[in-house]
Structure 1
Amino acid sequence: MAEASQSHNRAAEAPRNGGWTIAQNWRSYTQDEHDRWSRLVARQEKLLPGRACDAFLEAKETLKLPRHCIPDFSKVSDRLSRLTGWRIAPVAGLIPDDVFFDCLANRRFPAGAFIRSERALDYLSEPDVFHDVFGHVPLLADPVYARFLEAYGKGGQRALSRGQLHNLARLYWYTVEFGLIRSSDGLRIFGAGILSSPGETVFSIEDTSPNRIAFDLFRIMRTKYVISDYQQIYFVIDSFEQLLDQCYQDFGAFYDRLQAARDIEPHELLPDDHVITTGDLRYFRTRH
């Protein structure tokens, strides 16, 4: 996977802006890398209408994300900043948790400045420019969602100090990465991990395998998740306002209760779950 190494190396060797952020160095991208972005975008744009939430589709157009070349972070940031005050912070790869939370708390979204290799077109374990900018950035143009992510960042330091980051990470996973939202036309996607994956875009909404249950903050913070496969459970919010309200409350009581509560396996349903669809787990039984 030489091209992945070259892309990572260019990002790692880019001039530092101080701390963990780097200069994007947009002119360093090759035509092959721009072409790869174009094909990734085209593939997702065929799948997302009728599956992605309206807020995402509208924000993507508002931000004028280019279809035929990797976005210039500074140009997208200028548009985004005028809407919600957020900017994109280019990084070479994964960053420490405290740095990540500090970025979010200050309305900076850390985005990988490299693009996946041709071999990793369908799946990449480390977030790249397509996952981060195509999947995450558009919803930062939504004022309510943008405030939610800022509040999440501010809550991160407390979770770290209490040794309960794993609980808060589950909230991010099941909302920011793999969240579903109700609409008048049915369930829609808002999680970036789904929006940037062709397979999970269809699976999360249409497959009979996964359980889908209504958002419950305490339940989510107890629920384990699958990292390298489709999710066995999806949580469904009613609105971004609901998400924001939940994150504006004091998590201290939740953390105290969580210390005495057992973890829940991803495939489990509990008697008090508000189940929207009960999965048959067919996909997972076949796989495992």
Structure 2
Amino acid sequence: MLKPENPLRGDYSRMRNDYTVEQDWHAYTAEEHDLYRRLLERQSSKLKGHAAEEFIENVHRLSSDGIPRFEEANLILQSATNWKIVAVPGLIPDDTFFTHLAHRQFPVTVWLRKPEEFDYIVEPDIFHDFFGHVPLLLNPIFADHLQEYGKGGLRAMKLNAVPFLARLYWYMVEFGLILTPEGLRTYGAGILSSGGEIIHCIDSPQPNRIKFDLQRVMQTEYRIDRYQDTYFVIDSFQQLFDETSVDFAPIYEKLKTLEPIDPSGVLPTDTLVNHPASVNQKAA
């Protein structure tokens, strides 16, 4: 879903018609395995008190020594939720991405960032995709949500509405927060794979944390070059599934008549979520 300005990374010469490739696990170097381990150790050390328990639990189920083998992860995924991951060379077209999700297949990039990109990378690599996204595919409700998102994406393409749906993916799948009895936690893959934003999204007083509202999310622009100004908060994965299972067509038509909302904006109708206390108040 990300559209970088520079040429795409990854070897697209070996891909099939559906953009899948072989993972070729044996081609990874010892240095790449070591880099993956260091990324894993850093992020795992930051999960407690910041990540949703559902994510933490499933990270352990998928743990590996170095870069994971997709076929081994698929044995766990398919038995749990009938999902599987497919190897891709990098970013893929929207229609291909949506089609994979609609068939319960999550595309995972095969290349790993360079050591100098340890703290920040623009395009998703195997660490972002596998560590950030795959664990929640073991959660039945979230897994079903992603499949419905894929089906919805194919419909959105026919309605010229993909930018609105992309905002939903950005704010809910990549940068979503969830309100738990223990307080705010994150489940977003973009946050969970970031060394700094996983702390910022929960502990910093700077960002807006706004209760989830479907139209509000789809109307809000986002930035890819810094920490988010705004995070949207769900009460549960069931809420996310239920409230995104409606027909989006009327919402798309309404959104086409409205100006987009600035990523840093707060509206009078927004419900803000305070932290650390899980007490809500209306925005002034």
TM-score normalised by the chain length of structure 1: 0.90
Deviations 1:174-195 (A, max 9, x none): 0100000010010001000000
The CA deviation at 1:19 is 2.4
Residues 43 and 170 of structure 1: is their aligned pair in 2 closer, same or farther, counting only changes over 3 Å? same
Alignment check: 8 A CA contact 1:89 1:108 kept:
yes
Is it true that 1:78 corresponds to 2:75 in the alignment? yes
Is it true that 1:272 corresponds to 2:269 in the alignment? yes
Corresponding residue for 1:55? Answer: 54
RMSD: 1.2
The CA deviation at 1:277 is 3.6
SS of 2:273's partner is: strand
Q: Which amino acid aligns with 2:164?
A: N
Corresponding residue for 2:205? Answer: 208
Of residues 234, 242, 257 in structure 1, which corresponds to 2:239? 242
Alignment check: 8 A CA contact 2:15 2:88 kept:
no
SS of 2:86's partner is: strand
Q: Which amino acid aligns with 1:53?
A: A
Is it true that 1:166 corresponds to 2:163 in the alignment? yes
Corresponding residue for 1:38? Answer: 37
SS of 2:156's partner is: helix
Is it true that 1:22 corresponds to 2:15 in the alignment? no
The CA deviation at 1:91 is 0.5
Corresponding residue for 2:281? Answer: none
Corresponding residue for 2:278? Answer: none
Q: Which amino acid aligns with 2:67?
A: I
TM-score normalised by the chain length of structure 2: 0.91
Deviations 1:158-213 (A, max 9, x none): 11111111100000000100000010010001000000001000000000110001
Within a 5 Å distance, the mapping from 1:90-169 to structure 2 comes to: 90-169=87-166
The CA deviation at 1:17 is 4.7
The CA deviation at 1:16 is 3.7
The CA deviation at 1:18 is 4.3
Percent pairwise identity: 46
Q: Determine the C-alpha separation between the residues in 1 that align with 2:253 and 2:16.
A: 39
Gaps of 5+ in 1: 1-7, 279-288
Q: Determine the C-alpha separation between the residues in 1 that align with 2:246 and 2:216.
A: 16
Q: Which amino acid aligns with 1:182?
A: L
SS of 2:107's partner is: strand
Gaps of 5+ in 2: 1-8, 276-284
Is it true that 1:198 corresponds to 2:188 in the alignment? no
Q: Determine the C-alpha separation between the residues in 2 that align with 1:163 and 1:123.
A: 32
Q: Determine the C-alpha separation between the residues in 2 that align with 1:19 and 1:238.
A: 36
Deviations 1:97-121 (A, max 9, x none): 0000000000000010010001111
Deviations 1:243-282 (A, max 9, x none): 111221111111111111111001110011011149xxxx
Aligned positions, number? 267
Deviations 1:133-159 (A, max 9, x none): 000000000000000000000000111
Q: Determine the C-alpha separation between the residues in 2 that align with 1:40 and 1:148.
A: 28
Q: Determine the C-alpha separation between the residues in 2 that align with 1:165 and 1:78.
A: 32
Q: Which amino acid aligns with 1:57?
A: I
Q: Determine the C-alpha separation between the residues in 2 that align with 1:161 and 1:18.
A: 21
Q: Which amino acid aligns with 1:82?
A: S
Q: Determine the C-alpha separation between the residues in 1 that align with 2:132 and 2:117.
A: 17
Runs of 4+ residues deviating >6 angstroms = none
Q: Determine the C-alpha separation between the residues in 1 that align with 2:97 and 2:58.
A: 23
Corresponding residue for 1:286? Answer: none
